[in-house]
């Protein structure tokens, strides 16, 4: 299946990945706030903190920046937007590698649709975007203090590579060869 120019091989047919735009800012706020609330309820405030995006200093501006990123993709399930992915260059904190890469800078899905393979569909879209751009490696990172998230990325085919620490926030970087 191909949706909006992004191959979606292996995804359920009712998931479509489309390019995102600035008009998706409210959706990003909703998805991020839902994810924060879910993590807070689980005692995992280390990933994205414990405050809704709108309550953070410059939160709205930050989300508008995310929504204007050319690497933004939106997952829709039966025409309902339920997830987001941003791919692009590696962030400054990620150690440089000696191969061409695409980096997943954000991946978030609605917890209300857990178990529908949304995250896997977005990973597949990132893989296809990397291959289309002739990149050798796909990388992503997450909070190292979330063992279920770390294990989820490993189940997606990523391998742990590097770790980093930013003011006590410990991150785990993963890598996946694309060729």
Q: How far is it, in rounded angstroms, from Cα 6 to Cα 81?
A: 16
Dist. CA 15–CA 133, nearest whole Å: 22
The pLDDT-based confidence of 17 (bands split at 50, 70, 90) is very high
CA distance 32 to 60: 12
For 99-134, write each residue's pLDDT tens digit.
999 999 999 999 999 999 999 999 999 999 999 999
> In the prediction, which pLDDT does 159 show?
98
Q: Does domain 2-177 have CATH number 3.40.50.300?
A: no
Measure the CA–CA gap between 124 and 129, rounded to whole angstroms.
Answer: 9
Domain map (residue ranges) of the chain: 2-177
3-state secondary structure of 170: strand
* Strand-strand pairing, 101-109 and 137-143: parallel
- Report the predicted TM-score, pTM, of the whole model to 2 decimal places: 0.87
């Amino acid at each position: 299946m191909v949706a909006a120019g992004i191959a979606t091989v292996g995804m359920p047919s009712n998931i479509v990945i489309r390019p995102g735009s600035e008009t998706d800012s409210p959706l990003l706020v909703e998805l991020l706030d839902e994810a924060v609330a879910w993590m807070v309820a689980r005692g995992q405030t280390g990933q994205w903190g414990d405050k809704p995006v709108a309550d953070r200093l410059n939160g709205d501006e930050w989300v508008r920046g995310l929504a204007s990123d050319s690497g933004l993709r939106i997952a829709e399930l039966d025409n309902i937007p339920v997830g987001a992915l941003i791919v692009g260059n590696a962030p400054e904190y990620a150690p440089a590698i000696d191969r061409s890469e695409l980096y997943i800078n954000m991946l978030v899905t609605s917890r209300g649709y857990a178990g529908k393979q949304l995250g896997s569909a977005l990973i597949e879209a990132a893989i296809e975007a990397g291959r289309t751009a002739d990149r050798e490696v796909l990388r992503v990172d997450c909070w190292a203090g979330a063992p279920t998230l770390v294990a989820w990325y490993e189940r997606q085919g990523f391998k742990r590579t590097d770790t980093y620490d930013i003011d006590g926030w410990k991150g785990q970087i993963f890598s996946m060869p694309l060729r």
